């Protein structure tokens, strides 16, 4: 696992340089999910694949930017599912973006994720590594990731990151979100999954939601590359992560680009989600 983490660190350093100085224009093609690709999406994916290919314990990789799963080492132990540059459409506004990694064994399912790592490319470059604990690191002036602290979620938070097109929310979901705001929660939503979830984690709690909507009943966020890694992080930090009814880490995707409605947060907020969603007919 150490070699995988070191490959992710090398990737992060190269990607943050690309973000800072490279062309942020659009490429000609779309990715496997039908999203228009930035040249930076393609370059970030190339960097990560190149660095992971050096690690003998990596059996295969699945990228949000590619249709296929790529075999690297037949005898390898780990399967890496990753989103190389999540929220890249925000780069032209100079908002924070991120890279997300799920480290799996045997298959790309929730029960088989063994660790998760994400990088936030913001005013500072930070990395969170979740194994049995959740640890925060920051890139220092010697280009090293320095350990800062372990991260824990409180029982209840104050932040509400409510994703998806509000005009397409089911009525029970809108009522639930409005209840939290009526309780005094503050809206914190940039449209970048990584900084939005990082903020709630570092500030100690709250709710991030991307529900099933009238136009996207299966949600928008991808299980293998985005949802399972953050579900792992939030559970290891003492919170919960559900699809409205079950733990996200109990789910197995139909294919590695499958999406799901998802809720990540402190226990108080997730228990509220489970209560509301248990009553829908």
Enumerate binding residues for ligand P6P (CB under 6 A): 86-87, 89, 163-164, 191-193, 220
Q: Which is nearer to ligand P6P, 59 or 206 (CB)?
A: 206
**Measured from the CB of residue 50, what is the shortest distance to ligand P6P in angstroms?**
24
141 to 145, 146, 188, 277: CA distances (angstroms)? 9, 10, 29, 47
Q: Which is nearer to ligand P6P, 210 or 268 (CB)?
A: 210
198 to 27, 163, 186, 193, 195: CA distances (angstroms)? 28, 15, 15, 8, 5
**Measured from the CB of residue 169, what is the shortest distance to ligand P6P in angstroms?**
11
- CA dist 194 and 229 (Å) reads 11
User: In terms of Cα–Cα distance, which of 224, 216, 214, 276 is closest to 245?
Assistant: 276
**Measured from the CB of residue 37, what is the shortest distance to ligand P6P in angstroms?**
12
**Measured from the CB of residue 97, what is the shortest distance to ligand P6P in angstroms?**
8
For the purposes of burial, counting CB atoms within 10 Å of the CB of 187, is it exposed (0-12), middle (13-18) or buried (19 or more)? Answer: exposed
Q: Three-class SS string for 139-181? A: ECCCCCEEEEEECCCCCCCCEEEECCCHHHCCHHHHHHHHHHH
Q: Which is nearer to ligand P6P, 129 or 197 (CB)?
A: 197
**Measured from the CB of residue 213, what is the shortest distance to ligand P6P in angstroms?**
9
Q: Which is nearer to ligand P6P, 67 or 215 (CB)?
A: 215
Identify whether the C-beta of residue 59 lies closer than 8 Å to the C-beta of residue 50: no
Q: Which is nearer to ligand P6P, 5 or 193 (CB)?
A: 193
Q: Which is nearer to ligand P6P, 96 or 109 (CB)?
A: 96
Q: Which is nearer to ligand P6P, 55 or 177 (CB)?
A: 177
**Measured from the CB of residue 22, what is the shortest distance to ligand P6P in angstroms?**
19
**Measured from the CB of residue 64, what is the shortest distance to ligand P6P in angstroms?**
9
88 to 43, 85, 153: CA distances (angstroms)? 12, 6, 27
What is the bridge-based pairing of β-strands 78-86 and 97-104? antiparallel
What is the bridge-based pairing of β-strands 97-104 and 113-121? antiparallel
Among all residues, whose Cβ is closest to ligand P6P?
Answer: 193
């Amino acid at each position: 696992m150490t070699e995988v983490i070191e490959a992710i660190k090398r990737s992060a350093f190269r990607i943050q340089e690309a973000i800072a100085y490279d062309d942020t224009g659009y490429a000609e093609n779309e990715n496997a999910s039908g999203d228009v690709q930035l040249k930076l999406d393609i370059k970030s994916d190339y960097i990560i694949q190149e660095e992971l290919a050096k690690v003998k314990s990596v059996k295969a990789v699945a990228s949000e930017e590619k249709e296929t799963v790529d075999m690297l080492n037949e005898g390898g132990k780990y399967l890496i599912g990753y989103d190389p540059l999540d929220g890249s459409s925000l780069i032209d506004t100079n908002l924070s973006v991120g890279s997300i990694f799920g480290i799996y064994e045997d298959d790309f399912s929730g029960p088989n994720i063994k660790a998760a790592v994400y990088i936030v490319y913001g005013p500072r470059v930070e990395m969170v590594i979740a194994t049995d604990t959740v640890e925060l690191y920051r890139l220092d002036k010697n280009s090293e990731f320095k350990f800062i602290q372990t991260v824990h979620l409180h029982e209840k938070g104050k932040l509400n990151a409510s994703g998806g097109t509000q005009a397409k929310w089911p009525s029970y979901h809108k009522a639930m979100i409005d209840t939290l705001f009526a309780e005094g929660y503050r809206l914190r939503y940039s449209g970048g999954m990584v900084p939005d979830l990082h903020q709630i984690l570092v500030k100690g709690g709250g709710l991030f939601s991307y529900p099933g909507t009238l136009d996207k009943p299966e949600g928008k966020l991808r299980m293998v590359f985005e949802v399972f890694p953050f579900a792992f992080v939030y559970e290891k930090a003492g919170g919960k992560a559900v699809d409205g009814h079950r733990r996200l880490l109990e789910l197995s995707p139909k294919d590695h680009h499958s999406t799901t409605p998802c809720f990540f947060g402190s226990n108080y907020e997730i228990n509220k989600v489970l209560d509301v969603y248990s009553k829908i007919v």
